[in-house]
Amino acid sequence: MTRLLLKRILLGVLILWAVSVVVFLATQALPGDAARAILGREATPERLAALREQLQLGEPLHVQYLSWLGNLVQLDLGTSFSNGMPVSELLGERLNNSLALMLCATAISVPVALLAGTYSALRRDKAFDHTTSVLTLVLAALPEFVVGIVLVLVFSTGALNLLPAVYVMTESGSAWSDPVQLVLPTMTMVLAVSPYMVRIMRATMIEVLESEYVQQARLKGLPERTVILRHALPNSIGPVAQVVALQLAWLAGGVVIVEFLFRFPGIGFALVDAVNNRDLPVVQTLALAIAAVYIVVNLLADLVSLAANPKVRSAQ
Amino acid sequence: MPSRGRPITGPSRRDFFRYVAAGATAAGAGAVATGCAGGAVRKAPLPSGPPRYGGRLRVGIVGGSSKDTLDAHAPVTHPDQARVFQLYDTLLRFNDNYEIEPSLAESVESDPQAVTWTIRLREGVEFHNGKPLDAEDVIFTLRRISDPANPQSGAVGLTALDRDSLRALDNRTVRLTMLRPDVTLPDQFAQYANGIVPVGYDPDRPVGTGPFAFDSFEPGQQSVFTKHRNYWREGEPYLDELVISDFPDDTARVNALLGGQVDAIDQVPLGLLRVLDADPNLRLLESQTGAWLPFTMRVDRPPFDDVRVRQAFRLVVDRQQMIDQVLGGHGTVGNDLYSPLDQMYNSSLPQRTRDVAKARRLLKEAGKENLSVELVTSPVAAGTVEAAQVFAQQAAEAGIKVGIRRLDPGEFFGDQYLSWDFAQDFWFTRNFLSQAGNGSLPESPYNETHWAHPEFTDLVQRARATTDPAARRELIWRAQQIEWESGGHIIWGFPNQLDAHSVRVAGLGVDRSGIPLNSYGFRRAWLAR
């Protein structure tokens, strides 16, 4: 178990490094550089030369990359090309805001989806099951920006004027200080990740309910509640955890579109901005952060499956 | 196909655009677009009576990113521009009709040769930190803008300035000389990127003489400004506080206005006009401008090095159709000449209209039948990509194949910027000499068409050195005639500026500069109850 964990962590670090190389090369392949992007239409040769000098863009590529990587190892994320602020300072608040969004989305979607899936399985082919089935299919097919726009239409700019349509900065800069503004982006993300979880929970639960040990438990005369909570649920957690993990990992990337739509000051918004500005230190850092979320969440899912399944656990 | 007049009327303007146009047309210069469409929407009445003091105005501005700056002399994006107008004042300024008028300077006068200039400053102007404005601040500012080691936006317009000649005659008077005569100096002094800053200016703690003082700034997000209590204009500003938020996304900007999270937005997306117009509590603000979205043909490279090809390309354009399809009817037709608002604009030249037969004939004479060209486009301004598509259709009818190559702005402004054979660009309102200096002389920094016409250059140089308006007009008219006959721009129209605001917001008017929301003139804005 410990060896497996160590192996996975090592692999994770390797993947992160590979991501940094790919992202570095990809941003270099983008036409134009940060100086061009910053000056845009105002890029006279004189002003370009002056700015490139300031940003030290004249250095060869491998020198730029190695100095960035070297600083990273010392936990120094470098400074943003766009505004000269330290990347850690620039992204600190953003990361905090995105985490707020992701945590809210997770806290709502996971229990709701697992409950809905289980209930559907128990009420198989009844009205609730059918409704859930259609609803999750439709939601799964809709891109999240469509879901977001519909929510805005319904709750802020159309019939009801209940919730803010876009995010407007608060005095403190932290998303936690004004939870009302989190509602619509959170709902959008919940609706984007829940359908798969509901469907997989239902399918797994049905399979488990039809298994021999559940039949056995029922034949033993155990109350239905005990059958479900003690026997069925734990056995369905393993496979479901994998899908839940994938969906949560998606949140880290999917946050880009949702944040852009709601003008939410998080890492997704910052990433779009940094790519447009060719702000390499920021793009690199964000790509690594998102990749790290993927890796960690998947690792956690593996652990949950292992813990839920003694057979696999003892085989290691 | 008829060969004269306007043979192709194209699909008629779509109904919703007509509806919106009716609702938003400004009733002439100086009038606020009141949006009385008379249709289903009953608009709430505009606030009337004397301006009310106090309150906080929240505006949503297009664009912006983490590269946002508060530097008076380096604005790039619209939010940068909007902030510069609040924090700083220029020596002179453009009024709503794009005429130059005094601002921080009472007068800017030259000798008859346009070489030695005297700037006389207004008395009793105070910076946000309480320091009085004096001649040294003006000298510091002009040196900062034109610093050869770190040239700022306005440096291009000040190349003729002799930096070493700047000196203060007294507290309120600055004397300077030019390396060569230049009557456009007042024009440069009125450009928003040339705001006056105090000696020792630090953009991280920006101080100016503008109507609003700096409070807080989050690049790419929002900035907050507070009323400058000792502002030199009597009675202004009316607002206590101003919040400027960046909105790179059109949908978010419009949603914020509809949802009441901002009170005004600039650059209404044409596709969303109807939504805004249908709201009784919102007003559209529409201004005719001198801003332009040209196609640029390189006159030094084939096939456009042949003047007949350039003329043919200009003749295939159905200008009214461009206005209707690209701008939804919100614009005025162009005649391949820029600076239509300049008092010296050559209005004697005939309006060029579509003539496909003549275009074909010219191409045949040039030996360029069945011509195939690549048009490089990018969404660098609203309407550019759409204009490219409409142009490709119109040119096809004259047997010209136009392949459209769409790039993202980063690539468009990349290493090949200003060297594309056939591309597009965008410009705000400018007067002729200032515009020619920026883009139509061999040494101009943005000479997209690589225009280097000796006679044209000579006329422009002479006009710059001519202080007598009548003589200058004659030179400019001749220069424009040359450009009209053989230049490399296709200037099909001038888009209107379209903004929107809540009915609570008063004081913003029509403005011809092309700079949104009455040149971001929030010093004149006030909030009704």
Q: What is the DSSP letter of B287?
A: E
pLDDT for B210 beyond 90: yes
Could you tell me the end-to-end alpha-carbon distance of chain A, in angstroms, rounded to an integer? 6
User: Dihedral (C-alpha) A97, A102, A105, A109: value to the nearest 10 degrees?
Assistant: -170
State residue B40's pLDDT score. 55
Q: What is the DSSP letter of B377?
A: E
Chain B partners within 8 Å of A36 (Cβ):
410, 413-415, 417
- Does the distance separating the beta carbons of A168 and B222 come in below 8 Å? yes
Distance CA(B280)–CA(B500), nearest Å, equals 12
More reliable by pLDDT, B520 or B259: B520
**The most confident of A168-177, B377-386, B467-476, by mean pLDDT:** B467-476
pLDDT for B275 beyond 70: yes
B264-265/B56-62 β-pairing: parallel
Residue in chain A lying closest to B204 (CA): A83
- Does the distance separating the beta carbons of A32 and B413 come in below 8 Å? yes
Chain B partners within 8 Å of A157 (Cβ):
255, 258-259
Among B residues 154-213, those touching chain A with beta carbons less than 8 Å apart: 155-156
Of residues B74, B77, B411, nearest to A32 (C-beta): B411
Residue in chain A lying closest to B154 (CA): A42
Of residues A40, A46, A274, nearest to B413 (C-beta): A40
Quickly count: other Cβ atoms within 10 Å of residue B234's Cβ: 5
Residue in chain B lying closest to A163 (CA): B259
User: Lowest-pLDDT range, B5-9, B32-36, B357-361?
Assistant: B5-9
- How far does Cα B77 stand from its chain's mean position? 12
State residue A311's pLDDT score. 63
- Does the distance separating the beta carbons of A32 and B151 come in below 8 Å? no
- Does the distance separating the beta carbons of B66 and A270 come in below 8 Å? yes
Residue in chain B lying closest to A160 (CA): B259
Confidence of residue B95 (pLDDT cuts 50, 70, 90): very high
pLDDT for B35 beyond 50: no
Q: How far is A292 from chain B (nearest CA, A)?
A: 24
Mean pLDDT score of chain B: 89
Phi and psi dihedrals of B454, rounded to 5?
A: -55, -45
Angle at B323 between CA B312 and CA B347, to 5 degrees: 65
Interface residue of B65, B245, B380 to substitute, partner A, most A CBs within 10 Å:
B65
pLDDT digits (tens, 9 = 90+) for B319-331: 999 999 999 999 9
State residue B21's pLDDT score. 33
Query: pLDDT digit of tens for each residue in chain A (316 aa)?
Result: 678 788 888 998 899 899 888 988 888 787 777 887 777 777 777 888 888 887 777 778 888 888 888 888 888 888 888 888 888 888 888 888 888 898 999 999 999 999 999 999 988 899 999 999 999 999 989 888 899 989 998 898 877 788 888 888 776 667 787 888 889 999 999 999 999 999 999 999 999 888 888 888 888 888 888 888 888 888 888 888 888 888 888 888 778 888 888 888 888 889 988 888 888 889 888 888 888 888 888 888 888 877 776 665 554 4
Q: How far is B171 from chain A (nearest CA, A)?
A: 32
> Is the minimum CB–CB distance between A147 and chain B shorter than 8 Å?
no
Quickly count: other Cβ atoms within 10 Å of residue B203's Cβ: 13
Distance CA(B459)–CA(B157), nearest Å, equals 18
* Three-state secondary structure string covering B42-65: CCCCCCCCCCCCCCEEEEEEEECC
Tell me what ipTM this predicted complex has. 0.79
> Is the minimum CB–CB distance between A282 and chain B shorter than 8 Å?
yes
At B250, which helix (H) or strand (E)?
helix B250-258
Interface residue of B255, B420, B446, B502 to substitute, partner A, most A CBs within 10 Å:
B255
Q: Are B225 and B41 in contact (CB under 8 A)?
A: no
- Does the distance separating the beta carbons of A83 and B69 come in below 8 Å? yes
Chain A partners within 8 Å of B407 (Cβ):
31
Distance CA(B329)–CA(B318), nearest Å, equals 13
> Is the minimum CB–CB distance between A172 and chain B shorter than 8 Å?
no
- How far does Cα B386 stand from its chain's mean position? 20
Residue in chain A lying closest to B151 (CA): A47
Of residues B66, B413, B415, nearest to A277 (C-beta): B66
Overall residue count recorded for chain B in this entry: 529
Q: Are B163 and B139 in contact (CB under 8 A)?
A: no
State residue B83's pLDDT score. 97
Q: How far is A40 from chain B (nearest CA, A)?
A: 6
B237 cis-preceded (ω within 30 degrees of 0): yes
User: Lowest-pLDDT range, B28-37, B52-61, B296-305, B474-483?
Assistant: B28-37
pLDDT for B17 beyond 70: no
Of residues A157, A262, A282, nearest to B258 (C-beta): A157
Among B residues 339-358, those touching chain A with beta carbons less than 8 Å apart: none
Distance CA(B389)–CA(B314), nearest Å, equals 16
Q: How far is B169 from chain A (nearest CA, A)?
A: 32
Residue A245: exposure state from Cβ atoms within 10 A (0-12, 13-18, ≥19): buried
pLDDT for B5 beyond 60: no
Distance CA(A64)–CA(B44), nearest Å, equals 58
Give the SS3 label for residue B292: strand
* Token code pair at residue B214: 């700096």
Distance CA(A178)–CA(A157), nearest Å, equals 20
- How far does Cα B412 stand from its chain's mean position? 20
Select from A247, A240, A132, A137 the least CA-distant residue to A189: A247
Chain B partners within 8 Å of A30 (Cβ):
410-411
Residue in chain A lying closest to B68 (CA): A83
Distance of CA A165 to CAs A75, B173, B501, Å? Answer: 37, 52, 16
Phi and psi dihedrals of B393, rounded to 5?
A: -65, -45
Strand runs (DSSP E) across B388-457, as ranges?
A: 401-406, 422-424
> Is the minimum CB–CB distance between B258 and chain A shorter than 8 Å?
yes
Select from A108, A132, A110, A134 the least CA-distant residue to A119: A132
With b for 16 or more beta-carbon neighbours within 10 A and e for fewer, the B26-53 pattern comes to beeeeebbbbebeeebebeeebeeebee
Distance CA(B504)–CA(B283), nearest Å, equals 9
- Does the distance separating the beta carbons of B67 and A277 come in below 8 Å? yes
Integer-rounded Cα Rg, in Å, for chain A is 24
Average pLDDT over residues B107-115: 94
